[in-house]
């Protein structure tokens, strides 16, 4: 069984057709990179995988069952802009992720659960290279460090599926290379399935085990919203080969 099974999926907003008749399956452990022109529906697709949006039509299955209609701990997301709490320390930001995941109603953990959450948060922060700044605030961190923190916040909930929406788009090229190494390492060590939107084709080829290209194949100048994007290329990649080239 595929982790994700999509058949004849459509997404429309009123008369605006965003995605048109997508059919694909994604196996556990894949690292899918997704590229396409601005406005073709890449973020909308990720938001559907997260559970923030539902498809207008079509089959949309996660582990063989209809996609949960709300975000859940099985699916984590990292955006280009950091979603951090400025009044909480690095450690507290990650612990809050655990608290909200485990204690949905109270949003608070007690006693032994706090101790365990703290240990898990520290381990995750060490894994992303932030073990030395546990008690710093986000404003004291560089952009790359803030993005490492966002990744830690998502991964500490142990999602099966990690969604990345241009996570490295705002970072300097040198920092991006470090982040590429980090995300590949985390992907392997945590047995993650990753779907990542990027505007950087080189990044898409370098990181992915599979590159998906979204594009509109039909265009009516009189009705620009009448047709949606489809998957125009679905390219299997050989990571080892691309890695050698970098
Ligand atoms: N909540 C919404 N309500 C109405 N229209 C929406 C909504 N969300 C997205 N859209 C429309 O869906 C289309 C696709 O938007 P989306 O952000 O998914 O594109 P994208 O490929 O991620 O673009 P970019 O690369 O610029 O980030 C756009 O026409 C947008 O206006």
Q: ipTM, 2 decimals?
A: 0.96
Query: To the nearest whole number, what is the mean pLDDT of the chain?
Result: 89
Q: Is the pLDDT of residue 1 over 90?
A: no
Who contacts 91 (Cβ-Cβ below 8 Å, separation ≥6)?
118, 121, 122, 125, 134, 135
For residue 103, the model assigns a pLDDT of 54
Measured by CA distance, the residue closest to atom 2 of ligand 1 is 13
For residue 178, the model assigns a pLDDT of 92
Q: Is the pLDDT of residue 82 over 90?
A: no
For residue 123, the model assigns a pLDDT of 95
Q: Contact, 161 vs 75, CB < 8 A?
A: yes
**Interval between CA 59 and ligand 1 midpoint (Å):** 21
For residue 98, the model assigns a pLDDT of 82
Give ligand 1 pocket residues (Cβ under 6 A): 13, 16, 18, 36, 38-44
**Interval between CA 41 and ligand 1 midpoint (Å):** 5
**Interval between CA 113 and ligand 1 midpoint (Å):** 40
Q: Is the pLDDT of residue 143 over 60?
A: yes
CA dihedral 201, 150, 193, 13 (to 10 degrees): -70
């Amino acid at each position: 069984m595929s982790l994700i099974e999509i058949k004849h999926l459509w997404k429309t907003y009123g008369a605006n057709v965003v995605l048109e008749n997508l059919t694909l399956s994604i196996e556990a452990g894949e690292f899918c990179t997704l590229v396409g022109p601005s406005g073709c529906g890449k973020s909308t697709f990720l938001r559907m995988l997260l559970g923030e949006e539902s498809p207008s039509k079509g089959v949309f299955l996660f582990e063989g069952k209809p996609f949960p209609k709300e975000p859940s701990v099985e699916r984590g997301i990292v955006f280009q802009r950091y979603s951090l709490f400025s009044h909480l320390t690095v450690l507290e930001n990650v612990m809050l992720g655990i608290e909200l995941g485990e204690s949905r109603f109270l949003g608070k953990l007690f006693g032994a659960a706090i101790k365990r959450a703290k240990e898990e948060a520290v381990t995750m922060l060490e894994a992303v290279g932030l073990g030395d700044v546990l008690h710093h605030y986000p404003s004291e961190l560089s952009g790359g460090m803030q993005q490492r923190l966002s990744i830690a916040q998502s991964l500490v909930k142990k999602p099966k599926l990690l969604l990345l929406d241009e996570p490295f788009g705002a970072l300097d090229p040198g920092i991006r290379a470090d982040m590429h190494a980090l995300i590949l390492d985390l992907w392997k060590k945590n047995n993650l399935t990753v779907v990542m939107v990027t505007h950087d084709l080189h990044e898409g080829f370098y990181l992915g085990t599979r590159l998906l290209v979204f594009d509109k194949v039909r265009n009516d100048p009189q009705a620009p919203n009448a047709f949606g994007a489809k998957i125009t290329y679905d390219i299997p990649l050989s990571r080892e080969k691309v890695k050698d080239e970098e």
